[in-house]
C-alpha cells in the first residue's frame, strides 16, 4: 500500500444550481486533472464530494471549482471539512442519496446550446435533425422533473431506455452527455408525430419537413414544445394571422414572433447590445423590441403597437422548423384566450379543437407547464414582464432566513410564492384564476412546488380582496390545516415586491399605480403613495375617488369610464361638449350612465391610476372598447411616443384630508377637454398627460419627503409597464436627488404580488 504521508482528504458540500448542469462530470474531470481520488454524489440537498491527494493539488482543485464552473451551474454556498485519508484508489461517481426533508435548487429549462445545434444541422452526426437533442448544458429540466434528487428515474424520461451509444455517452466522464439525464437520440428517445385537426395520425416520411411545408402553405399548427403547446403559423401571411385571431378568440392582443437569428430580428426591429444578449441567453425569453416600419410581418401580429415580441428558437425542433421554413413564425401559447396552456396530447386535441389545422406532437411527457417569459430592456437594464420558462423555479434571494410560508398572489397574471430559508420560490406565471382550468393549474403547481422544495407552510398570505379565488383558496387551506392566515393589502404587496426585488430594507415611499386593488376602506385603490415598511404601511396620498358606472363591467369599455368621470366632475352639462367620443355612444346608454352616477347606483368609487389612463384614452377617442387587458392605456402610450418634444404640463392640485393628500384631477380633465376642443393633435395631448402624471408623482413624493424625510422611492404596479411614463418619472426623481427603483426580477404587474405578500407575512410572523 502506498504511504498516506503528504496526503490530505476533504469533504466538500456544494449547494446552488449544481444538479442537471453537468456538475458531477465537471468534478470528475477536475479530480482527474489534479490526480485526486475520492467520490462525488448528489443528495436532495447538495452535491457531496470527497477528494484525497496532495495538499497542493487539492488547493488547485478548489480554486478551479470556482473558476471553471460549467456554464449553467451556480454555487450559492459550500462547506469544506478536513477528514482522514482512507487510501482511495480512484475517483467515482456514486449513486444519489435521498435526504429526508432536504431540498436543493432546480435548474430552469435551458435553450439549446451551440454544440447541440451544430449536431442537429450536421448530416454526418447521428443526431442529425433529431428534435430532442440535448446535453448537460441545455435542454429540458424543470418541466420534466417529478422529484429530487435530479436523476433520470425521477423525470418523465424514465420510460425511455438508453440505447448502447447513449449509455456510453452517459457513462463516459469525458463526454458532454455524461450523466445528462434527458439524453436521447433517434434510436432510443422521444419521437414526433403529425396529426390532423381531429387528432388522427398522418403517415408521413419526414415529420419535420412536412410540418415546415404546412407552415409555409399558411396552415396553423399546434406544436407540443417544452412547457406546453404553442400555436405556430407564418407571421407574414395576413390571412393566416387573421384566421388564428378568429379561431383563438383573441382579436387584438399581440402575438410573439420567433425568428432564426439576431440578424433577422434586426430586419424587423431595433436591437441594442443588451437586447441582443438577452435574446441569445440560455433563458431565451420573448424580448419586446421597438419595431421598424415597412416590414413584411403582418400588421395583425401586433396591431397599432410600437413593440414586437421577438424570440429566438430555444429547442432543437424550433431550430429545425425555422431552418426549413425560413420564415418568421408566430409562436403563441396553445390555449383559448386566458386559459392555461395545453400540456398533453389528448388534452390539447380536445381543448384546442378548431384552432389548429394540424398537431405536431411527441411522446415526452411534460410534468409542469411553462409559458414563454417576456422581458423588456429599459435603460440597458432588463425588466421581466412575465416570468416563466428559463427563470422559474430559480428563487429570488432574500436577505434573511424566512419561515416556511405560502403566499397566494392575486387574481390575474397570477403567481404564488413559497418561502424557505433565504429563498423565495416565485412560481412561473400561472395566469388568470377566473376559469376552472386556470384554478386547477394553480393548485396543482402549488402542490408540485411544495413537494420538490419540501415546504410545509406555517403561514398563508393572500390578497385582502374577499372574492379572489386565491384568497378563498388561502382561507380554506388555512382553516383546514390550522395555519395562520394573513390578508395583505394589494398595493402594500406591490411596494414590498419592489423593495425585495431591489434589495431595499429601509422604509420607502411606494408609488403603486395599477388598475384595481382592494383598499382597507373597502374601495377600489390604484393610484397610491404609501409610506411602506415590510410589516406596515401608511397611505400618504392618492388620486381622488371617482365613480365608475357599472364597476368592473366598464373595464372592457373605457368610454364608460370617461363618461362616468366627465359627468361626476362637470355634471350633465359636459354631455354637450363637442367631444368626438361622445357622438359614438348611444343616447340610452348615456342616460343610464348619468343616472347611475347621479344616484351612486352600481357606481363604485376608485382612485385607480390605470383607469385614469383608460378614461383619457377613450376621451381622446383612441380606444373606447378594449380587446385585451390595458389596451387603451397601451395605445395612449403609443400616441405619446409620436409627439416630439412637448413639455407642457396640465394643472396639478391637491387637498389634504386627515393628513392624506388627495390629488385633484378636475383641472387635468378640464385642460384636456380644452385641448381637444382647440384641436390640439392627439399625440401632443397624450404626451402632456404623461408629463402631468410624471410631474404629479414627483411633486407628491417631494411633499411626502418633506414630511417623512424619506428619499427612497419605489415605482410599481402595472401602470409602470408604460415605458414613456417610467422614463420621464425616473428622470425627474434622479434630477431631484431621490433614489428610485422599480421591479426587475419579478413583474411590476400582479405577477409580483405573491413575492410581496410572502415577505410581509414572513416578517409579521418573525417580528
Which residues here bind Fe ion, judged by CB under 5 A?
514, 517, 750
Whether the CB-CB separation of 372 and 312 falls below 8 Å is answered with no
Q: Which of 14, 47, 73, 116 binds Zn ion (CB under 5 A)?
A: 116
Whether the CB-CB separation of 193 and 299 falls below 8 Å is answered with no
Residue 159 lies near Zn ion (rule: CB under 5 A): no
* DSSP code, position 183: -
Q: Whole-number minimum distance, CB 520 to Fe ion, in Å?
A: 15
* DSSP code, position 69: -
Decide whether 345 or 721 has the Cβ nearer to Fe ion: 721
Q: Which residues pair with 425 in a beta bridge?
A: 418
Residue 514 near which of Fe ion, Zn ion, none (CB within 5-8 Å, type-dependent): Fe ion
Decide whether 155 or 721 has the Cβ nearer to Zn ion: 155
Whether the CB-CB separation of 633 and 515 falls below 8 Å is answered with no
Q: Helix 436-452 crosses helix 469-481 at what angle (to 10 degrees)?
A: 50
Residue 80 near which of Fe ion, Zn ion, none (CB within 5-8 Å, type-dependent): none
Nine cell digits for residue 592: 343610464
Q: Whole-number minimum distance, CB 239 to Fe ion, in Å?
A: 38
Residue 138 lies near Zn ion (rule: CB under 5 A): yes
Decide whether 260 or 629 has the Cβ nearer to Fe ion: 629
**d(Cα 620, Cα 624) in Å, to the nearest integer?**
9
Decide whether 71 or 522 has the Cβ nearer to Zn ion: 71
Residue 163 lies near Zn ion (rule: CB under 5 A): yes
Decide whether 328 or 517 has the Cβ nearer to Fe ion: 517
Residue 151 near which of Zn ion, Fe ion, none (CB within 5-8 Å, type-dependent): none
Decide whether 514 or 629 has the Cβ nearer to Fe ion: 514
Decide whether 137 or 332 has the Cβ nearer to Zn ion: 137
Give SS3 for 485: strand
Give SS3 for 102: coil
Decide whether 138 or 612 has the Cβ nearer to Zn ion: 138
Q: Which of 135, 349, 726, 755 binds Zn ion (CB under 5 A)?
A: 135
- x/- mask, Zn ion, residues 634-673, rule CB under 5 A, reads ----------------------------------------
Whether the CB-CB separation of 387 and 747 falls below 8 Å is answered with yes
Core vs surface per residue 261-273: b (16+ CB within 10 A) or e: eeebbeebbebee
**d(Cα 672, Cα 678) in Å, to the nearest integer?**
10
From residue 242, give the alpha-carbon distance in Å to each of 237, 252, 301, 314, 338.
9, 10, 9, 26, 18
Residue 188 lies near Zn ion (rule: CB under 5 A): yes
Residue 757 lies near Zn ion (rule: CB under 5 A): no
Decide whether 41 or 132 has the Cβ nearer to Zn ion: 132
From the list 598, 559, 564, 612, the residue with the least C-alpha distance to 582 is 559
User: How open is the CA angle 186-192-194, to the nearest 5 degrees?
Assistant: 145
Residue 159 near which of Fe ion, Zn ion, none (CB within 5-8 Å, type-dependent): none
Residue 194 lies near Zn ion (rule: CB under 5 A): no
**d(Cα 668, Cα 670) in Å, to the nearest integer?**
5
From residue 515, give the alpha-carbon distance in Å to each of 610, 632, 735.
4, 12, 28
Residue 763 near which of Fe ion, Zn ion, none (CB within 5-8 Å, type-dependent): none
Q: Whole-number minimum distance, CB 225 to Zn ion, in Å?
A: 17
Residue 116 near which of Fe ion, Zn ion, none (CB within 5-8 Å, type-dependent): Zn ion
Straight-line distance from the first to the last Cα atom of the chain, in angstroms, rounded to the nearest whole number = 59
Interface with Zn ion: number of residues (CB under 5 A): 10
Q: Find the part of the chain contacting Zn ion (CB under 5 A) among 96-104, 115-123, 402-410, 731-739.
A: 115-123
Residue 750 near which of Zn ion, Fe ion, none (CB within 5-8 Å, type-dependent): Fe ion
Decide whether 221 or 609 has the Cβ nearer to Fe ion: 609
Residue least distant from Fe ion (Cβ):
514
From the list 658, 655, 408, the residue with the least C-alpha distance to 538 is 658
Decide whether 518 or 565 has the Cβ nearer to Fe ion: 518
Q: Which of 50, 106, 166, 671 binds Zn ion (CB under 5 A)?
A: 166
Residue 187 lies near Zn ion (rule: CB under 5 A): yes
From the list 432, 260, 466, the residue with the least C-alpha distance to 337 is 432
Q: Find the part of the chain contacting Zn ion (CB under 5 A) among 178-186, 202-210, 436-444, 499-507.
A: 178-186
Residue 185 lies near Zn ion (rule: CB under 5 A): yes
Residue 93 near which of Fe ion, Zn ion, none (CB within 5-8 Å, type-dependent): none
- The Cβ-side half-sphere exposure at 574, using a 13 Å CA radius, reads 20
Residue 185 near which of Zn ion, Fe ion, none (CB within 5-8 Å, type-dependent): Zn ion
Q: Whole-number minimum distance, CB 694 to Fe ion, in Å?
A: 20
**d(Cα 622, Cα 633) in Å, to the nearest integer?**
9
Decide whether 275 or 750 has the Cβ nearer to Fe ion: 750
Which burial class, exposed, middle or buried, applies to 216 when counting CB atoms under 10 A from its CB (0-12, 13-18, 19+)? middle
Q: Whole-number minimum distance, CB 150 to Zn ion, in Å?
A: 16
Give SS3 for 62: helix
Q: Whole-number minimum distance, CB 189 to Zn ion, in Å?
A: 6
Residue 137 near which of Zn ion, Fe ion, none (CB within 5-8 Å, type-dependent): Zn ion
Residue 69 lies near Zn ion (rule: CB under 5 A): no
Residue identified by cell 446535453 is 135
Residue identified by cell 478536513 is 82
Q: Whole-number minimum distance, CB 404 to Fe ion, in Å?
A: 26
Whether the CB-CB separation of 723 and 692 falls below 8 Å is answered with no
Nine cell digits for residue 723: 415605458
**d(Cα 611, Cα 357) in Å, to the nearest integer?**
39
Decide whether 135 or 543 has the Cβ nearer to Zn ion: 135
Q: Whole-number minimum distance, CB 626 to Fe ion, in Å?
A: 17
From the list 93, 76, 80, the residue with the least C-alpha distance to 37 is 93
Residue 113 lies near Zn ion (rule: CB under 5 A): yes
Residue identified by cell 403529425 is 194
Q: Which residues bind Zn ion (CB under 5 A)?
A: 113, 116, 135, 137-138, 163, 166, 185, 187-188
Amino acid at each position: 500500500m502506498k504511504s498516506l504521508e503528504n496526503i490530505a482528504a476533504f469533504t466538500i458540500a456544494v449547494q446552488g444550481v449544481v444538479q442537471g448542469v453537468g456538475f458531477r462530470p465537471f468534478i470528475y474531470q477536475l479530480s482527474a486533472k489534479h490526480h485526486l481520488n475520492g467520490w462525488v454524489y448528489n443528495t436532495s440537498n447538495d452535491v457531496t464530494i470527497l477528494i484525497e491527494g496532495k495538499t497542493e493539488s487539492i488547493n488547485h482543485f478548489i480554486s478551479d471549482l470556482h473558476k471553471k464552473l460549467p456554464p449553467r451551474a451556480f454555487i450559492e454556498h459550500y462547506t469544506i471539512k478536513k477528514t482522514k485519508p482512507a487510501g482511495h484508489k480512484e475517483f467515482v461517481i456514486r449513486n444519489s442519496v435521498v435526504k429526508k426533508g432536504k431540498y436543493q435548487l432546480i435548474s430552469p429549462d435551458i435553450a439549446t446550446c451551440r454544440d447541440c445545434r451544430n449536431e442537429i444541422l450536421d448530416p454526418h452526426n447521428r443526431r442529425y435533425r433529431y428534435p430532442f437533442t440535448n446535453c448537460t448544458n441545455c435542454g429540458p429540466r424543470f418541466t420534466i422533473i417529478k422529484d429530487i434528487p435530479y436523476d433520470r428515474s425521477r423525470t418523465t424520461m424514465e420510460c425511455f431506455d438508453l440505447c448502447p451509444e447513449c449509455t456510453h455517452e452517459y457513462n463516459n466522464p469525458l463526454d458532454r452527455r455524461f450523466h445528462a439525464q434527458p439524453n436521447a437520440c433517434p434510436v432510443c428517445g422521444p419521437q414526433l408525430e403529425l396529426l390532423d385537426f381531429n387528432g388522427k395520425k398522418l403517415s408521413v416520411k419526414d415529420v419535420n419537413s412536412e410540418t415546415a411545408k404546412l407552415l409555409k402553405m399558411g396552415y396553423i399548427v399546434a406544436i407540443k414544445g417544452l412547457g406546453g403547446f404553442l400555436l405556430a403559423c407564418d407571421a407574414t401571411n395576413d390571412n393566416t394571422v387573421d384566421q388564428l385571431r378568429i379561431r383563438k378568440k383573441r382579436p387584438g392582443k399581440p402575438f410573439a414572433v420567433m425568428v432564426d437569428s439576431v440578424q433577422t430580428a434586426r430586419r424587423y426591429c431595433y436591437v441594442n447590445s443588451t437586447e441582443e444578449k438577452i435574446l441569445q441567453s440560455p433563458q431565451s425569453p420573448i424580448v419586446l423590441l421597438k419595431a421598424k416600419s415597412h416590414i413584411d410581418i403582418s400588421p395583425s401580429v401586433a396591431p397599432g403597437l410600437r413593440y414586437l415580441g421577438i424570440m429566438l428558437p430555444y429547442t432543437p425542433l424550433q431550430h429545425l422548423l425555422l431552418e426549413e421554413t425560413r420564415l418568421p413564425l408566430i409562436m403563441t401559447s396553445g390555449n383559448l384566450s386566458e386559459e392555461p396552456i395545453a400540456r398533453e396530447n389528448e388534452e390539447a386535441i380536445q381543448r384546442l379543437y378548431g384552432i389548429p389545422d394540424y398537431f405536431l406532437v411527441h411522446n415526452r411527457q411534460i410534468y409542469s407547464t411553462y409559458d414563454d417569459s417576456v422581458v423588456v430592456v429599459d435603460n440597458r437594464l432588463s425588466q421581466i414582464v412575465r416570468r416563466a420558462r428559463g427563470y422559474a423555479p430559480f428563487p429570488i434571494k432574500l436577505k434573511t432566513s424566512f419561515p416556511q410560508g405560502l403566499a397566494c398572489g392575486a387574481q390575474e397574471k397570477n403567481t404564488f410564492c413559497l418561502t424557505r430559508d433565504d429563498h423565495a420560490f416565485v412560481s412561473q406565471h400561472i395566469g388568470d384564476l377566473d376559469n376552472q382550468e386556470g384554478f386547477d393549474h394553480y393548485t396543482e403547481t402549488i402542490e408540485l412546488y411544495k413537494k420538490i422544495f419540501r415546504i410545509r407552510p406555517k403561514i398563508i398570505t393572500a390578497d385582502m380582496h374577499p372574492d379572489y379565488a386565491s384568497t378563498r383558496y388561502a382561507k380554506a387551506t388555512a382553516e383546514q390545516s390550522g395555519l395562520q392566515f394573513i390578508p395583505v393589502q394589494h398595493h402594500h404587496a406591490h411596494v414590498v415586491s419592489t423593495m425585495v426585488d431591489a434589495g431595499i430594507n429601509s422604509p420607502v415611499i411606494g408609488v403603486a399605480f395599477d388598475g384595481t386593488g382592494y383598499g382597507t376602506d373597502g374601495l377600489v385603490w390604484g393610484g397610491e403613495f404609501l409610506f411602506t415598511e415590510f410589516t406596515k404601511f401608511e397611505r400618504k396620498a392618492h388620486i381622488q375617488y371617482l365613480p365608475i358606472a357599472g364597476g368592473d363591467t366598464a373595464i372592457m369599455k373605457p368610454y364608460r369610464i370617461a363618461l362616468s368621470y366627465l359627468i361626476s366632475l362637470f355634471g350633465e352639462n359636459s354631455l354637450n361638449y363637442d367631444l368626438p367620443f361622445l357622438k359614438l355612444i348611444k343616447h340610452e346608454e348615456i342616460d343610464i350612465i348619468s343616472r347611475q352616477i347621479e344616484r351612486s347606483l352600481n357606481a363604485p368609487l376608485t382612485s385607480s391610476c390605470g383607469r385614469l389612463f383608460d378614461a383619457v384614452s377613450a376621451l381622446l377617442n383612441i380606444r373606447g372598447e378594449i380587446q385585451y387587458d390595458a389596451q387603451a392605456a397601451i395605445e395612449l402610450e403609443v400616441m405619446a411616443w409620436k409627439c416630439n418634444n412637448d413639455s407642457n404640463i396640465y394643472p396639478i392640485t391637491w387637498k389634504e384630508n386627515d393628513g392624506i393628500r388627495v390629488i385633484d384631477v378636475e383641472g387635468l380633465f378640464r385642460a384636456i377637454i380644452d385641448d381637444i376642443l382647440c384641436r390640439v393633435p392627439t399625440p401632443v395631448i397624450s404626451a402632456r398627460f404623461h408629463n402631468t402624471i410624471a410631474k404629479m408623482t414627483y411633486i407628491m413624493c417631494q411633499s411626502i419627503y418633506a414630511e417623512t424625510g424619506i428619499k427612497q422611492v419605489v415605482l410599481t404596479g402595472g401602470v409602470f409597464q408604460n415605458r414613456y411614463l417610467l422614463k420621464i418619472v425616473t428622470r425627474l426623481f434622479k434630477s431631484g436627488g431621490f433614489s428610485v427603483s422599480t421591479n426587475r426580477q419579478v413583474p411590476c404587474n400582479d405577477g409580483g404580488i405573491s413575492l410581496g405578500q410572502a415577505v410581509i407575512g414572513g416578517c409579521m410572523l418573525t417580528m
